[in-house]
Structures are given as structure tokens and as C-alpha cells.
Structure 1
Amino acid sequence: MSDANALFIPQHDDIDYIDHLDEPSMTRAALACIDGFTACFNARDLDGMDAHLHFPHVILSGEQLVIWERPGQLPAHFFDDLSRDTGWHHTAYQEKQVVLVSPRKVHLRVAYSRNRADESIITQHRNLWVVTWQDERWGIKQRSY
């Protein structure tokens, strides 16, 4: 990008869909996207999870920046390994709180746990996720762990 100032100004082109949505509608759409992603995660559906993401997809895990340029970045055995290594059965949210809503974006703080079948908690997580309107749909663009 040659104009550094453009980084700090939200785009307003082709925003007809967003213009008629109010903040509560955008929030509901972003939350529905996260719920869909999580339903696919719990169903062990890698393709379904990818369908709820936008690419490139950005993950900030600790200090490590990971960018998935395309779908299919998790190995087919991801869930088998997760279950075998941790006893994971499903993921459950305790909180999904909107932090910021702006054109094309909803920033959320999420809290969830990875649980065993008996509902005992393996790990708890608090993350920031950004859901964006892109390519005529809402999708998760960024996750910070």
C-alpha cells in the first residue's frame, strides 16, 4: 500500500449492504458466524469451519503471527489428535461480548472452554476475534489467542 494514511481510514466502497444494517443487526450476524464456526468445530467439520473464516485469516497466538492464505490449513487428523491428547469432546462459550462495531467489522471478546464429555473443563480461553463483512458474507478474519 503506497498511502500509509489509507491504512487508518475504513473503506466505504461497495458498502450498500452494510448501510442499511444497524449495530444490533451487525452484532447478531457476527455472533451467528461465531456460533456457526463453533457448531462446525464441535461437529469436527474442518470444511465447515473454513466456510466461516475469511482468507487470508490472521491468528495471533501469543506473540506468534500466523497467516492462513487459504482454507485447509488444519490437518485431517486435527480432531483425532485433540481428543486423544487432551480428552476434548466439545467447546462451550461462557461469554461473547461485543467490543467494537464499525463498518464491515465487529470485534468481540470471547471466553470459552474446551471440555470433556462429562463437562469437566480441560482448558479455558479468553480471546479477541474480529468478524468482517467480505465477499458478500460475514466471516471470522482474525483471532488473537
Structure 2
Amino acid sequence: MNYPHTRLALGRFRTFESARESIAANTAAEPRLDDEGWHHSVIAEIEAVHVGEDKVHLAMTVERCHEDGTVYNTFDTLWIATLDENHWGIKFRSSFLR
């Protein structure tokens, strides 16, 4: 990740100023994911739709899976990766969660 990192999901923008903030948000989401029976996610499709020297737009389809590999949720997402201080990382994510 590159920080600050912004996420747009469920109609809401959220900016994380640091890895610590991002980790805390992910930790807070774990009970909801446990309730869904989430085990892992798979990138089913990925396409670099725009590529520059310091920025790449990635269009993806992500699948959420149960432990046995059964897909229970599929959604599209756009990630923007940036080169920041000689480090490539995700700067922005926008997901169409279903």
C-alpha cells in the first residue's frame, strides 16, 4: 500500500493515513467476514487498463471463497497503483461489493 490510501466502498470514501490505520480497519472487519464464512479471496480477472511511468489502473474481478474453495461473492474493483518514493503500492481502491 501507499499512504495515504483511499478506499471507496458502499458509497463511502475512507482514507487511511498509515499502515496502522489500515490494519486496524481490516481487523475490525474480521468478524463480519467470519460471519460470511470467508476464508480467502481470489483475483479471477485482472486487466491493466491504463499504464504510465508512475501510475497503473487495474480493473479486477475478485471472488470471495469459503475454505473448500466455493465462491460465494464476486465483485468488480478498480485499484490504482502508484510509484511513490521508489515503491510501487496501491493508493486507491474502489469496489462494487454485492
TM range (shorter): 0.7 to 0.9
Q: Distance in 1 between matches of 2:15 and 2:42?
A: 25
Task: Report how far residue 77 of structure 1 moved.
Answer: 3.9
Amino acid at match of 1:86: E
**Residue in structure 1 matched with residue 13 of structure 2 by the alignment:** 65
**Unaligned ranges ≥5, structure 1:** 1-52
1:63 Cα deviation (Å)? 2.5
CA RMSD of aligned residues (A): 1.8
Aligned position for 2:91: 141
**Bigger radius of gyration among the two:** 1
Structure with more helix by fraction: 1
Q: Which runs of 5+ in 2 are unaligned?
A: none
Aligned residues: 93
User: Could you tell me the TM-score, scaled by structure 2's length?
Assistant: 0.84
Deviation >6 Å, runs of 4+:
none
- What is the percent sequence identity of the aligned residues? 29
2:51 equivalent to 1:85: no
For 1:123, the equivalent position in structure 2 comes to 73
CA distance 1:55–1:91, change in 2 (3 Å): same
In structure 2, relative to structure 1, the CA distance for the partners of 1:60 and 1:83 (3 Å cut) is: closer
**Structure showing the higher strand proportion among its residues:** 2
